[in-house]
Structure 1
Amino acid sequence: MTSTPVLPSRTEVAIVGAGPTGLALAVTLAEAGVDFVLLDRQAEGANTSRAAVVHARTLEVFDELDPSGALSAGLVARGIPVSRFRIRDGARPLAAVDFDGLPTAHPYALMVPQYETEAVLLSRLRALGGDVHRPREVTSVTQDADGVTLTTAAGETLHAAYAVGADGMHSTVRAAAGIGFTGSAYDESFVLADVVMDWAPGPSEVSLAFGAAGLTVIAPLPGNGNGGVGGGGGAGRRYRIVATVAEAPPSPDLAFVRALLAQRLRGEARVHDLVWSSRFRIHHRVADRYRAGRLLLAGDAAHVHSPAGGQGMNTGIQDGYALGRALADGDLDAYEARRRPVAQRVVALTDRMTRVATARGLTRRALRNTLLPVLARIPAFRNRLARELAELDYR
């Protein structure tokens, strides 16, 4: 089922954007019996796989949405649970953060492509009788005292009591609401690539590698060494690479990724294939408000930040769940009060991680590399960082 041809004329909640945030919101409303319409401008399956980690708190949300545990179990079966986050300077280990002691039913980071997370949420939504109206691009959003009117590119109109912008950084709903998006962009561009490679530490950890040229994140993904577009051979396994680059090419190719990893990982990686790649720029911004009358924001429409901690999609899914409960309970004022401070905290943490990782100058890097191993020997520091990454303190 790839589209729903007839758009209803009215609903209680119109959700713009059927990524993980919009899907989580829709599932929450469906569970609560609140009428909604979920719209997305893309055809099904036309998404890219930018996010690749699901943290413990998000899996707890899945369990709250489906107390049988089937929702979280279905996602775990598609991914790789990883219990260690390691910080390096190139190939040199500096600190390790372990998740396996966390007070949760999911003491790990689940490495799984975003499209798998979306597929599990969409399957749950359909089991509850809901679906996505696509491809439908919302081009106009207006509100008055009685409700919100949304108009699509095809000229269709939908009237709703409330409209939610889960439509990303360039949100149509946020623009219509006149809500500011305070923050700025990082100077560097980011390379995102899924590769097939042999890597000395292997698939048991996620690594954040510092270096004079910038930060590099290496994370295992499900799948073996086939289906690539470049080198052939079928050896190795899949990994997700995220790296800051002064000015990356529009479409990083196999040669570019190989050279980047050879420079930064000092011989630890042997890249066989390039499965997929992209270049993007990252901002660190938080919406000035999460609500303007009958218009509300969630996910990347409300906050964007560095991918250093892998928290963007997770924070968005948790937004969707919290907003769904607030709409079902008639307590919308509590939504911004609970979720905007979380976004500010996540943005601050990931910004600090990015700036520490990309520290300029030999003195600053030497100080960083001296202090971090000392701090990592303090249990309270390790536990605090593990809880922050897992988002367990955001319950």
Structure 2
Amino acid sequence: MLPEDVDVLIVGAGPTGLALAIGLAQQGIRHAIVERRRHIAATSRAVVIHAYTLEHLDALGVSEQLIQRGLAVSCLAMHARGTTLVTASFSALPTRYPYALMLSQAETEVILEARLESLGGKVLRGYNATDLMQAETYASVTLADEKEVSSSIKARYVVGADGMHSLVRQAARIPFQGGDYEEAFILADVAMDWELPRQEINLFFAPEGVMVVLPLPGDRFRIVAACHGASAAPSAGEMQAILDRRGPAGGLARIRTLIWSSHFHIHHRLAECFHQGRVVLAGDAAHVHSPAGGQGMNLGLVDACLLAERLTEAIVDDGGSSALDDYQARRKPVAEHVIQTTDRMTRLATINSYPLRLARNVSLRTLGKIQTFRRSLVMNLSGLDQRK
């Protein structure tokens, strides 16, 4: 049953919304979290949780469970034409979590939702936000259930954590500026024979396009590749052909089982503001970018951790607009930086010109020998360069 009014209404129960709900529950803030999906999706694109994110999630009481379920990866390696260009280790990062944790978004959501329930919270599933109205002291969201019966919830603040196509952002008429990349990508989760170290993320530059192979828990791997004209759900044969052309030489990769596959396009967009009146945006509702570096879910999770603090300040300490302005002032520049960085990484990885590809590979091989470059690379990927 839906409450009539709360202090905070969260629209969207992905990782960002769930983390925010946990943070608010820990502070005793009256909140509700609604989600149109009846169940957590069994498949997902996000699979990396970085060190800076784990540091924040530790305060929510979930980091240890995530680590127990995930696979700690200690190294990133970049290759081209059978040559290793860069090998960068996470093991010397100045953190309790000196690795990239590989765990699917679906598993992450299961752990977050269980933690929320342990605090007495509950995701209200099967409700789709259809409209939002703002007044001076509250906002009201109209929700439709699966039978299209409408109801509404009033809240002092409404948080849009409802993804790239956010109804909350659109209803608040907050511009979402940016564009789309021409490249199409495919991904697949597979079981396969793989002779390179399992504790490595491997990136391969090839004339046909970039490919990334990420190890996952349970003896599985995630393959992501730029690919024009691929089918909506690439077959095992299609994925094997890509591995053969772009992966390690000598037939070192052989797919045994295709678990699932998909085809997608990527975007880069940023909300003009993260806070407007009684509306606040977080996660993909506020920013979307290339998956290069695995930053998307991480950015939203850290948004949520900070936003829980600022909403508590706004409600309990009557910090109001200034607390939420601080959230925007701190998180929007980080999102801008991530969008710019992942854009450069994407364009670098998808160069079509042979002379430019050659120049990129030579440059990376040279830079890969420099310790300060390798450290800067892993500090950026881990998110630890965001520390104040």
Q: Alignment partner of 2:220: what SS?
A: strand
With 196-205 and 6-15 compared, the bigger mean Cα shift is at 196-205
- Which residue pairs with 2:100 in the alignment? 109
- Which residue pairs with 2:240 in the alignment? 258
The answer on whether the counterparts of 1:91 and 1:268 sit within 8 Å (CA) in structure 2 is no
Q: Say if 2:27 is the partner of 1:27.
A: no
| 1:86 Cα offset (Å) | 1.0
AA partner of residue 384 (structure 2)? L
5+ residue gaps, structure 2: 315-322
After TM superposition, the structure 1 = structure 2 runs for residues 365-380 of structure 1, keeping only pairs within 5 Å, are 365-380=357-372
Q: Say if 2:304 is the partner of 1:320.
A: yes
Superposition CA RMSD, Å: 1.2
- Aligned equivalents of 1:324 and 1:190: distance in 2? 34
Q: Alignment partner of 1:184: what SS?
A: strand
| 1:145 Cα offset (Å) | 1.1
Report how many aligned residue pairs link the two structures. 373
After TM superposition, the structure 1 = structure 2 runs for residues 149-164 of structure 1, keeping only pairs within 5 Å, are 149-153=140-144, 154-164=149-159
The answer on whether the counterparts of 1:101 and 1:107 sit within 8 Å (CA) in structure 2 is yes
AA partner of residue 324 (structure 2)? L
| 1:207 Cα offset (Å) | 1.2
- Aligned equivalents of 1:87 and 1:361: distance in 2? 19
| 1:182 Cα offset (Å) | 1.3
Q: Alignment partner of 1:309: what SS?
A: coil
The answer on whether the counterparts of 1:219 and 1:241 sit within 8 Å (CA) in structure 2 is yes
- Which residue pairs with 1:183 in the alignment? 178
Q: Say if 2:7 is the partner of 1:7.
A: no
The answer on whether the counterparts of 2:132 and 2:139 sit within 8 Å (CA) in structure 1 is yes
Q: Deviations for 1:85-107, whole angstroms, at most 9, x for unmatched residues? A: 11112542110111100100000
Q: Which of residues 294, 299, 302 in structure 1 aligns to 2:283?
A: 299
- Which residue pairs with 1:3 in the alignment? none
Q: Say if 2:328 is the partner of 1:346.
A: no
Q: Say if 2:77 is the partner of 1:86.
A: yes
Q: Deviations for 1:107-131, whole angstroms, at most 9, x for unmatched residues? A: 0000111111111111111111101
- Which residue pairs with 1:193 in the alignment? 188
AA partner of residue 359 (structure 2)? L
The answer on whether the counterparts of 1:24 and 1:321 sit within 8 Å (CA) in structure 2 is yes
5+ residue gaps, structure 1: 1-5, 224-236
Q: Deviations for 1:126-176, whole angstroms, at most 9, x for unmatched residues? A: 111101000111111111112111111230111111111111110101101
Q: Say if 2:26 is the partner of 1:44.
A: no
Structure 1's 378 and 131: CA in aligned 2 closer, same or farther, altered over 3 A?
Answer: same
Q: Deviations for 1:301-338, whole angstroms, at most 9, x for unmatched residues? A: 11111111011000000011111111011211100100
Q: Deviations for 1:219-251, whole angstroms, at most 9, x for unmatched residues? A: 00111xxxxxxxxxxxxx310111111232111
The answer on whether the counterparts of 1:23 and 1:121 sit within 8 Å (CA) in structure 2 is yes
After TM superposition, the structure 1 = structure 2 runs for residues 63-142 of structure 1, keeping only pairs within 5 Å, are 63-66=58-61, 71-142=62-133
The answer on whether the counterparts of 1:217 and 1:308 sit within 8 Å (CA) in structure 2 is no
Structure 1's 372 and 46: CA in aligned 2 closer, same or farther, altered over 3 A?
Answer: closer
| 1:285 Cα offset (Å) | 1.2
Q: Alignment partner of 2:59: what SS?
A: helix
The answer on whether the counterparts of 1:221 and 1:240 sit within 8 Å (CA) in structure 2 is yes
Q: Alignment partner of 1:241: what SS?
A: strand
| 1:47 Cα offset (Å) | 5.0
With 43-52 and 76-85 compared, the bigger mean Cα shift is at 43-52
- Which residue pairs with 2:386 in the alignment? 394
Q: Alignment partner of 2:203: what SS?
A: strand
The answer on whether the counterparts of 1:215 and 1:354 sit within 8 Å (CA) in structure 2 is no
The sequence identity of aligned pairs, in percent, is 48
Structure 1's 285 and 21: CA in aligned 2 closer, same or farther, altered over 3 A?
Answer: same
- Aligned equivalents of 1:101 and 1:34: distance in 2? 38
AA partner of residue 101 (structure 1)? A
Q: Which of residues 203, 212, 216 in structure 1 aligns to 2:211?
A: 216
Structure 1's 288 and 327: CA in aligned 2 closer, same or farther, altered over 3 A?
Answer: same
Q: Alignment partner of 2:58: what SS?
A: helix
- Aligned equivalents of 2:346 and 2:83: distance in 1? 18
The answer on whether the counterparts of 1:212 and 1:358 sit within 8 Å (CA) in structure 2 is no
AA partner of residue 82 (structure 1)? V
- Which residue pairs with 1:280 in the alignment? 264
- Which residue pairs with 2:167 in the alignment? 172
AA partner of residue 70 (structure 2)? G
Q: Alignment partner of 1:278: what SS?
A: strand
- Aligned equivalents of 1:133 and 1:358: distance in 2? 41
With 192-201 and 41-50 compared, the bigger mean Cα shift is at 41-50
